[in-house]
Structure 1
Amino acid sequence: MTEPSARSIWLRPERAGRGPIPAFDRDRIAAAGIALADAHGLPAVTMRAVAVALGAGPASLYRYVATRDELLELMIDQVNGEISYAALGSGHWLDDLLALARQSRGVYLAHPWLLDATATRTPVGPHAVTYLEHALSALADLDVSPRTKLEAIAILNAVISTLTRAEVIQRLAGQAVPQWQQAQAEFLTQVATAGHHPHLATALTGQPPEVEDSSESFFDRILTRVLTGLLQPDDIGAALVRGRAEAETPAASPGPTAAS
């Protein structure tokens, strides 16, 4: 089999200019893979299984995708296309980023296999580029550097994935709080009340009880804290860094005194 001329599937034409009309296209192949993953999980997605679902021989798919990783790229990009941008344009960067985050969370919950598919790498396809463009548009008027904006979006996506993974685990456990999480809470409470960890005791028992909130409000609250911390104006962030550096620099030794 010939090596594709471009490393990225998105830089290669979907079909050659010559030859017979292809039986499939990337959208159909991705849709078949998504249906398998939604029903049976990511391990069920193989080149052979997708070919069978399409009523074709396994070798036929290699005319469209070179590897299973490329197949996953098509699937990831297609579900990223489910994100809606209709709620954007509020005029406030935080509201727009939270709206994007809720859409992203919804895609993860609809396709839990996506968490595993993007656990070690995050392929960038056309729909991911659209997401990034909208996120940067929301931050266009914020007085921080382009690098800070890109870093904040990357961290936002990582936090969305982490929070949604925990939510998926809880749903699969069939309870609001999994047994293992309850066991950990009981252990920490016992350790705290023993008297050897006063700061832990204060954190666990020294605060007034809070009303239990929904997954959605918890999600918004955590992301709000993360984003407002990350997207401080650059002059504020620089001042914080300078202040810490000055605090950690040992005072200069006094010069030698003149002998009397």
Structure 2
Amino acid sequence: MTEDLEPELPRGIALAWGVAANPQRGPKREMSVERIVEAAVEIADADGLGAVSMAAVAARMGFTPMSLYRYVSAKEDLILLMQEEATGIPSDAVREAGGWREQLEALYREQVQNHLAHPWVLDIPISGVPVTPNMAAWMDAGIGALAETQLTHEERLAVMLFVSGAARWAGSILAGYARLAREQGLDGPAITRTEDAMFRALITGDAYPHLRAAIDAGAFLDDSDPFAFALERGLDGIGDYIAAAAEGRHDPGIPWAVPDDADIADDKRFREARKAVRDAEKVLRAARKAERQEARAARDRRAKLNPTG
């Protein structure tokens, strides 16, 4: 019989969990893994991940680089610990937000804010899921939000990955725009107008008909949150799937096997009801577009009346 062996933890993982052997000796009491990580995060927050090196951290702390290696033996381990520190843990507000959807929305918002507070984390190459305490806490919160649903454990994990992926993508784009704003001294609306003008100059209807139609419709000047919209529509679908599971309308052992309405597609009243829903959704989209256009016009009128802000 083959016995299960405990895996040998990489040094960085062991440090994150607090189970690594302590250094036999250190230069001064002020030196510790925690203090090293704090100094490295301060450097990254100020100047980006590329500015972090063992020499830079040591200089910031007033020690020699060799003294750091007694505590953190490799830069890769230091970056892992920096990521763990910057990631933090979900607040109590996530678990107390309400139902599964409200909890996932709160988790998404907190992850986006973390990415904006520490955008350098997004520059760390992904090489699997870091098995660290804080990352485990985020995963547990996402999976736990779905604990009272009929979803399987595999499906709960998939939903958690969807929400975290949406937060990472949104954080990456928003952090990039924030950096651009700082470097060029522009605010968000100014950047948006510049990009729209560039699209209008370069994109033709002959070569890119659908993109040009979106440009002409003012899609790139819209001030709504496209990331939040996509998340909400994704959660809508997940909600439908959860409802189907609760009603026994699909086999939970076959992931993502929600049946369609093919068995009643030829029913006249059903087709009429479905068409009415599509028509109503079309009217709603048009009304929302008109609302956004009027909001932009109102802001423009206010800006003209009060040009100094």
TM-score (norm 2): 0.64
2:125 counterpart of 1:110: no
2:22 counterpart of 1:16: yes
Unaligned runs of 5+ residues in structure 2 are 1-7, 182-186, 263-309
Q: CA deviation at 1:22?
A: 6.7
- Structure 2 counterpart SS, 1:239: coil
2:34 counterpart of 1:27: yes
Equivalent residue for 1:239? Answer: 258
* Structure with greater contact order relative to length (CA < 8 Å, sep ≥ 6): 1
What is the total number of aligned residue pairs between the two structures? Answer: 232
Q: In the TM superposition, what whole-angstrom CA distance separates every residue of 1:231-255 from its partner, at most 9, and x where no partner exists?
A: 62362831359x8xxxxxxxxxxxx
User: Percent sequence identity over matched residues?
Assistant: 26
Q: CA deviation at 1:68?
A: 1.1
Match of 1:126 among 111, 133, 142: 133
2:243 counterpart of 1:228: no
Q: CA deviation at 1:37?
A: 0.5
Alpha-carbon RMSD across the aligned residues, in angstroms, is 3.3
State how far apart, in whole Å, the 2-side matches of 1:84 and 1:8 are. Answer: 28
State how far apart, in whole Å, the 1-side matches of 2:200 and 2:230 are. Answer: 20
State how far apart, in whole Å, the 2-side matches of 1:38 and 1:118 are. Answer: 17
Equivalent residue for 2:106? Answer: 99
Structure with greater proportional helix content = 2
2:74 counterpart of 1:67: yes
TM-score (norm 1): 0.74
- Structure 2 counterpart SS, 1:32: helix
Q: Is the 8 A contact 1:98 1:220 kept in 2?
A: no
Q: Is the 8 A contact 2:196 2:215 kept in 1?
A: no
Equivalent residue for 1:7? Answer: 10
Alignment of 1:176-255 (within 5 A): 176=188, 177=191, 179-180=194-195, 182-184=197-199, 186-188=201-203, 190-191=204-205, 194=206, 212-214=222-224, 217-230=225-238, 232-233=241-242, 235=250, 237-240=256-259
Unaligned runs of 5+ residues in structure 1 are 244-260
Q: In the TM superposition, what whole-angstrom CA distance separates every residue of 1:99-154 from its partner, at most 9, and x where no partner exists?
A: 11111111111111111125555523211111111111111112212111112212
Q: Please identify, of 81-90 and 133-142, the stretch whose mean Cα deviation from structure 2 is larger.
A: 81-90
